[in-house]
């Protein structure tokens, strides 16, 4: 068996239409595993079809939610590739054919495609171009739709549910179980969580730049992402916080990009090359620049480091352009220079909103959340001469690293920035 399509359902109102798109597939080696829960009843014409298996979920799984139901469904799949199909959605007739060919050619553990979100009148939801989304016309069954172009696979897209791979989503059997399958404790963000784990176990991700999936927008805001929006907003952030730094490291590994730890002669994390004056993997005076070529580094870590770089002396400061020592603006330009497009600066710096910024006599520059506006927001950057870098403030917040820091009011600003160098970037860009 090549394909197992899996579909939990609590309300199979449109399941007949989903079934019609399976019957229309040009690739016919498939089974459909349907998992009804609650009072859901599958029409006999579907349930008795030789390629359909209806496996009713135990009551305790239905109570847990969709993560448990999807895991249960996949445990009953017999195919080599698992295709997720919601009970009210549609596949294009060539979907399985295209997926089969791409999976065979690449041995991918996970595949995903472009998609369209359509309403009853066949109008489509179009996501904002200001957040990196692209769209194109898509014709199906003599009707005109608008397809959304998915993002390429990288840490920026994967750690945020809004830009992570959408439908169609396909796992190889091996990759699915290696990643641990759907988390049965998650009633939302179950796919996002599993996608992150699938990437982290090393599965090859294959993007198919073609619309293969039609997602139905229901009336009365009855879609799951609307009914459970508050939970999704909160829990997707938990998924992001849990995986983001591991996703960055895995992206760097896959692309053979070094990760640097500035001032990291002591306690540099695994996987990073320490850069410091002495006793580091790379010994240098960072104030004179980083000894790496342009566009060559995937991630730079600056924990408890930026505050040791001098602030600009005055408005005439050339930020190290004439060969002098770099100030903070010069350092941010230098970090930007060596990062690849989409490369990350992850930083942690004592904030002026707490005691830590000023209490240490070795600190010679001072930072808070607003300090990073000058590298991420056009409105502020235009007022500082010499800023050449352009970053997206992907993650910017303040907090206490430990209870000890909280007890002593040593607040830190955390800034995870992505280098903008002409690439298509998921998320809002302000500079």
pLDDT tens for each residue of the chain, 431 residues long: 999 999 999 889 999 999 999 999 999 999 999 999 888 899 999 999 999 999 998 888 777 889 999 999 999 999 999 999 999 999 999 999 999 999 999 999 999 999 999 999 999 999 999 999 999 999 999 999 999 999 999 999 999 999 999 999 999 999 999 999 999 999 899 999 999 999 999 999 999 999 999 999 987 765 665 566 788 889 999 999 999 999 999 999 999 999 999 999 988 999 999 999 999 999 999 999 999 999 999 999 999 999 999 988 666 566 766 667 889 999 999 999 999 999 999 999 999 999 999 999 999 999 999 999 999 999 999 999 899 999 999 999 999 999 999 999 999 999 999 999 999 999 999 99
Query: Given the structure tokens 């039609």, which residue do they identify?
Result: 214
Pairing between β-strand 143-149 and β-strand 134-140 as defined by DSSP bridges: antiparallel
Pairing between β-strand 339-350 and β-strand 412-419 as defined by DSSP bridges: antiparallel
In Å, how far are 23, 292, 337, 392, 424 from 381, measured between CA atoms?
Answer: 57, 25, 17, 13, 21
Contact yes or no for 189/161 (Cβ under 8 A): yes
Partners of 418 in the β-ladder: 344, 392
pLDDT score for 61: 78
Determine the Cα–Cα distance for residues 34 and 30; give it in Å rounded to an integer.
Answer: 13
Partners of 128 in the β-ladder: none
Query: Smallest Cα–Cα separation from 36: which of 69, 79, 85?
Result: 69
Backbone angles phi, psi at 18, to 5 degrees: -60, -40
Token pair of 164 as six digits: 């992570």
Backbone angles phi, psi at 177, to 5 degrees: -80, -30
Determine the Cα–Cα distance for residues 280 and 82; give it in Å rounded to an integer.
Answer: 47
Burial 198-213 (b: 16+ CB within 10 A, else e): bbeeebbbbbbebbbb
Contact yes or no for 385/316 (Cβ under 8 A): no
Q: What is the 3-state secondary structure (H, E, C) of the chain?
A: CCEEEEEEECCCCCHHHHHHHHHCCCCCCEEEEEEECCCCCCCHHHHCCCCEEECCCCHHHHHHCHHHHHHHHHHCCCCCEEEECCCCCEECCCHHHHHHHHHHHHCCCEEEEEEEEECCCCCECCCCHHHCCEEEEEEECCEEEEEEECCCCCHHHHCCCCCCCCCCEEEEHHHHHHCCCCCCCCCCCHHHHHHHHHHHCCCCEEEEEEEEEEEECCHHHCCHHHHCHHHHHHHHHHHHHHHHHHHHHHHHHHCCCCEEEECCCCCCCCCCEEEECCCCCEECCHHHCCCCCCCCEEEEEEECCHHHCCCCCCCCCCCCCCCCCCCHHHHHHHHHHHEEEEEEEEEEEEECCCCHHHHCCCCCCCECHHHHHHHHEHHHHCCCCCCCCCEEEEEEEEECCCHHHHHCCCCEEEEEEEECCCCCCCCCCEC
Class of domain 3-235: alpha beta
Listed by start position, the domains of the chain span 3-235, 257-419
pLDDT score for 222: 57
Residue 38: other Cβ atoms inside 10 A: 13
CATH topology of domain 257-419: Rossmann fold (3.40.50)
* CA-based torsion, 214, 219, 224, 225: positive or negative: positive
Count Cβ atoms within 10 A of the Cβ of residue 144 and give its class: 0-12 exposed, 13-18 middle, 19 or more buried: exposed
Contact yes or no for 99/81 (Cβ under 8 A): yes
pLDDT score for 39: 84
Determine the Cα–Cα distance for residues 375 and 419; give it in Å rounded to an integer.
Answer: 10
Number of residues that this document lists for the chain: 431
Partners of 5 in the β-ladder: 32, 83
Query: What residues contact 45, with CB distance under 8 A and at least 6 apart?
Result: none
Residue 28: other Cβ atoms inside 10 A: 12
Token pair of 282 as six digits: 């790379």
pLDDT score for 351: 98
pLDDT score for 132: 97
Partners of 184 in the β-ladder: none
């Amino acid at each position: 068996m090549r394909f197992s399509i899996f579909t939990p359902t609590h309300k199979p109102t449109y399941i007949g239409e989903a079934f019609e798109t399976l019957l229309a597939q040009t690739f016919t080696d498939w089974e459909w595993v349907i998992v009804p829960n609650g009072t859901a009843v599958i029409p006999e014409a579907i349930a008795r079809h030789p390629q359909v298996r209806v496996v009713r979920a135990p009551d305790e799984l239905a109570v847990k939610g969709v993560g448990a139901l999807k895991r249960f469904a996949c445990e009953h799949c017999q195919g080599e590739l698992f295709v997720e199909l919601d009970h009210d959605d549609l596949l294009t007739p060539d979907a399985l054919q295209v997926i089969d060919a791409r999976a065979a050619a690449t041995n991918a553990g996970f595949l995903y495609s472009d998609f369209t979100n359509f309403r009853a009148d066949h109008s489509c939801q179009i996501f904002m171009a200001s957040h990196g989304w692209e769209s194109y016309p898509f014709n199906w069954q003599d009707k005109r739709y608008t397809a959304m172009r998915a993002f390429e696979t990288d840490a920026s897209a994967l750690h945020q549910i809004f830009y992570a791979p959408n439908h169609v989503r396909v796992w190889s059997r091996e990759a699915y179980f290696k990643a641990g399958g759907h988390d049965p404790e998650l009633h939302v963000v179950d796919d996002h969580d599993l996608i992150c784990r699938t990437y982290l176990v090393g599965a090859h991700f294959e993007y198919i730049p073609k619309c293969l999936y039609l997602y139905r927008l229901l009336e009365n805001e009855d879609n799951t992402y609307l009914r459970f929006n508050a939970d999704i907003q909160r829990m997707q952030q938990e998924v992001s916080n849990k995986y983001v730094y591991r996703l960055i490291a895995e992206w760097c590994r896959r692309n053979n990009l070094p990760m640097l730890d500035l001032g990291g002669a002591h306690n540099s994390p695994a996987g990073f090359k320490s850069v410091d004056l002495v006793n580091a993997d790379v010994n240098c005076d960072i104030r004179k620049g980083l000894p790496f070529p342009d566009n060559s580094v995937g991630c730079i870590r600056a924990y408890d480091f930026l505050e040791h770089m001098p602030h600009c002396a005055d408005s005439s400061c050339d930020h190290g352009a004439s060969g002098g020592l770099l100030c903070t603006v010069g350092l941010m330009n230098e970090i930007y220079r060596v990062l690849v497009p989409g490369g990350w600066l992850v930083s942690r710096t004592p904030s002026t909103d707490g005691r830590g910024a000023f209490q240490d006599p070795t600190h010679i520059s001072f930072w808070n959340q607003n300090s990073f506006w000058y590298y991420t927001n056009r409105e502020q950057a235009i007022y500082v001469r010499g800023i050449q870098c352009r970053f997206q403030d992907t993650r910017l917040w303040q907090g206490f690293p430990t209870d000890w820091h909280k007890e002593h009011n040593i607040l830190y600003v955390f800034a995870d920035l992505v280098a903008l160098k002409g690439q298509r970037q998921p998320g809002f860009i302000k500079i």
